[in-house]
């Protein structure tokens, strides 16, 4: 498959540009729009608002929490592409129409631009975050 490699390279270029100039050039923004379509602007908005938090436990387990526009907190995994938002379930899992949802894209963009908030937690707290997601659904 081609698209993931392209998306990855684009995100790397954004990171490099940001590191060198603290800015993201227009072409890369348009490239984001080209590849990610309607998720691009909302994802950038989440980054502008510093909505992404990296939650880390001492053993090294991480996950990301993204504060959505509705005020809801969504969880994105770091070891694979997964998000608890409904759009992910629909566009990515069910229809295979998108590579990512806006939350996962916001996670990558926040990583690229150093905009992640950091939240160190204990092992138990991280486990609870993951289990809490399940309880909500079940």
Binding site for another protein (CB under 8 A): 1-13, 15, 19, 24, 26-27, 29-35, 37, 40-42, 44-45, 47-49, 54, 56, 58-62, 78-82, 84, 86, 89-90, 92-94, 96-99, 108, 111-112, 114, 116, 118, 120, 133-134, 136-138
Nearest distance, CB of residue 40 and another protein, angstroms = 6
Nearest distance, CB of residue 80 and another protein, angstroms = 5
Nearest distance, CB of residue 94 and another protein, angstroms = 5
Q: Tell me, what DSSP letter sits at residue 61?
A: -
Residue positions counted in the chain:
138
Residue 33 burial class via C-beta count within 10 angstroms: exposed 0-12, middle 13-18, buried 19 and up: middle
What whole-number distance in Å separates Cα of residue 132 and Cα of residue 138? Answer: 10
What are the phi and psi torsion angles at 39 (to 5°)?
-75, -20
């Amino acid at each position: 498959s081609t698209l993931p490699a392209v998306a990855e390279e684009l995100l790397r270029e954004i990171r490099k540009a940001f590191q060198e100039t603290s800015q993201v050039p227009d072409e890369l923004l348009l490239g984001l729009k080209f590849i990610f379509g309607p998720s691009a602007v909302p994802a950038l908005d989440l980054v502008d608002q510093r909505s992404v938090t990296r939650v880390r436990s001492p053993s090294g387990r991480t996950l990301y929490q993204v504060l959505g526009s509705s005020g809801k907190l969504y969880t994105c995994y770091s070891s694979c592409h997964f998000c608890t938002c409904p759009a992910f379930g629909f566009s990515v899992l069910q229809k295979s129409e998108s590579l990512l949802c806006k939350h996962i894209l916001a996670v990558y963009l926040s990583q690229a631009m150093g905009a992640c908030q950091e939240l160190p937690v204990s092992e138990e707290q991280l486990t609870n975050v993951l289990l809490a997601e399940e309880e909500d659904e079940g």
